[in-house]
Chains A and B, each alone.
Chain A
């Protein structure tokens, strides 16, 4: 048997700790605690292994990756073994000292997230007073350090009217890339769906805004645009296909084909603490389960797009139908596509209250974010 082509990217959730509490956080509802996190040396050994099996880009995320005080040491090691290093951050802890340490360590790129352009609404969504002002300062630091800047706006019904101002803000900050990314409805986003899902009319207006801005800014700023699956005709090629391009690692070292895969029942995901990345990528049953096209049901199996969208998203298929092996309901050819319209109908005239992303917020009343040790 020939080896499967190597992974392109490694996504590492260094920690689930985060000072923000965004109600659409991509982390699982059951957040991992600080005590279980991989050590500095464990992460570094994973990065060395990743480079050896062909990973090209390393994405540091979380939680909030800067909550790990060893972040510069991790970046330095990754850059040293030849990986392209990218940090995905809220920026609220990115002060001059940390910025200098990251530059010294060889960081290649930083993506900075914003919750809105209106400071009060942005801070309300983040659940953190003063977050927006800190982010603006972080953007200036990134640019004056000479790094390219990507700004990411997570868009939903409680800020979607501001998309034109978001693009203007990104221009003003000197961003080379902007992501106008509608919430993806997994984990906390799924839990808060009625509070977040925009209307069809709002989405269409936003799409027109983005298309006009793309034409105007061509050659100066790239705009990546992600629409909510609930209004799509075809599913997204989630993660570029299950276990085809990426490995995602949780704070405690669990390796998964995507950050939401833990929601799927019946899976035992391998740990990098006791299995090599090479073995995980080539032969772990969880990685092989939905790789390629053999697992596909109809209508995917005979569809000429089966190697374009790879059947869409397994986690969404499970969240909506209870069966991870069904066609993603986002596809209008899927037998379960009507579920998407039902969800849209459920969103109601006024948005529901947020369930903020907190340790314990999903299972008990412990409304205090875990502190950084």
Chain B
């Protein structure tokens, strides 16, 4: 993998990618060039914190404060999920 994910990496949705709530499905969706993703609940909580300003570390801190899981476990999950989405072209890192 060519991307290195660090705590200070700031993820953002690139042009052409939209993360929004779909009222018909009552679910969050990621809309990207000629593909779309239906993230699970955990991924949705991570993606809601992607605003082009928060770093991976800040996202992990936020989630660790709200959910009962060790921060390093959460940080690894965040990096894995966002790295995967970036590989599919739906996130910029």
Residues of A within 8 A of B (CB): 6, 8, 52-54, 56-57, 59, 82, 84, 86, 108-109, 111, 146-148, 150, 176-177, 218-222
Taking chain A's interface residues, is the majority helix, strand, or loop, or is none over half, making it mixed?
Answer: loop
Within 8 A of A (CB), among B7-55: 14-18, 20, 22, 24-25, 29, 31, 33-34, 36
Give how many B residues have a beta carbon under 8 Å from the other chain's beta carbons. 21
Closest to A224 in B: B34
Q: List 11 A-B contacts (CB under 8 A).
A: A8-B36, A54-B24, A82-B20, A108-B31, A147-B16, A148-B16, A148-B33, A150-B34, A177-B33, A218-B1, A222-B87
Residue of A nearest to B24 (CB): A54
CA distance A122 to B29 in the complex (A): 38
Task: Let me know if A222 and B22 touch, CB within 8 A.
Answer: no
Main secondary structure of the interface of B (DSSP, over half): loop
The answer, yes or no, to whether B66 is at the interface (CB within 8 Å) is: no
The residue that B24 contacts in the complex, of A6, A57, A219, with Cβ under 8 A, is A6
In the complex, what distance in Å separates the CA atom of A111 from the CA atom of B20? 22
- Tell me whether B36 and A218 are in contact (CB under 8 A): no
B88 x A222 contact (CB < 8 A): yes
Identity of the chain A residue whose Cβ is nearest the Cβ of B33 in the assembled complex: A109
Instruction: Please indicate the chain A residues that have their CB under 8 angstroms from the CB of B18 in the complex.
Output: 84, 108
Residues of A within 8 A of B22 (CB): 54, 56
The residue of chain A having its C-beta at the shortest distance from the C-beta of B86 within the complex is: A219
Contact of B34 among A86, A218, A219, A221 (CB under 8 A): A86
A89 to chain B, nearest CB (A): 13
- Within the complex, which residue of A82, A108, A146, A222 is in contact with B89, where a contact is CB–CB below 8 Å? A222
Is the Cβ of B1 less than 8 Å from the Cβ of A150?
A: no
> Cβ of B15 and Cβ of A147 under 8 Å apart?
yes
Task: Give the chain A neighbours of B14 by CB distance below 8 A.
Answer: 148, 176
Most buried by A among B3, B17, B33, B88: B33
